């Protein structure tokens, strides 16, 4: 079974282009170092019928923000750890101590690593 890292972010709408540019580069880097898949998804149906606890509510999204759900798929947790080590080294070398400026509030990002329980 595969392993998945999942993220939920609130991105200011004015930063959508910056975030997409950053995400395109990230997708290439993660896949180059062994991730099986990388997806960045912006919310489309924010208020589905019969759902009381929505992503915008969970993420405490403000009027000028949109929720993004992102995930990266790996062969295993061990593979995830190895891939992420290479990815972080790549970005540390590229950006050095200055680090890349994030177009969202990192303190409001939710993240978790997940075992795939059902799937191919």
Task: Render pLDDT for 11-60 as a digit per residue (tens, 0 to 9).
Answer: 999 999 999 999 999 999 999 999 999 999 999 999 899 999 999 999 99
Which residues on adjacent β-strands are paired with residue 5? Answer: 72, 113
| Residue pair 11/55 in contact by the 8 Å Cβ criterion | no
Structural domain boundaries of the chain?
A: 3-115
pLDDT at 98 over 80: no
Which residues on adjacent β-strands are paired with residue 8? Answer: 69, 110
Q: Is 54 helix (H, G, I), strand (E, B) or coil?
A: coil
Read off the pTM: 0.91
Question: How far, rounded to the nearest angstrom, does the alpha carbon of residue 88 sit from its chain's CA centroid?
Answer: 15
How far is the C-alpha of 113 from the C-alpha of 103, rounded, in Å?
Answer: 23
Q: Which fold has domain 3-115?
A: Alpha-Beta Plaits (3.30.70)
């Amino acid at each position: 079974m595969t392993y998945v890292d999942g993220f939920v972010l609130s991105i200011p709408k004015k930063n959508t282009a910056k975030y997409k540019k950053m995400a395109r580069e990230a997708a290439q880097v993660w896949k180059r170092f062994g991730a099986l898949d990388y997806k960045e998804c912006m919310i489309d149906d924010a208020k589905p019928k019969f759902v009381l606890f929505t992503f915008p509510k969970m993420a405490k999204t403000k009027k000028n923000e949109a929720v993004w759900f992102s995930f990266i798929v790996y062969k295993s947790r061990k593979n995830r750890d190895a891939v992420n080590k290479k990815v972080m080294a790549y970005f540390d070398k590229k950006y050095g101590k200055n680090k890349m400026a994030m177009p969202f509030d990192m303190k409001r990002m939710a993240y978790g690593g997940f075992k795939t329980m059902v799937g191919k």
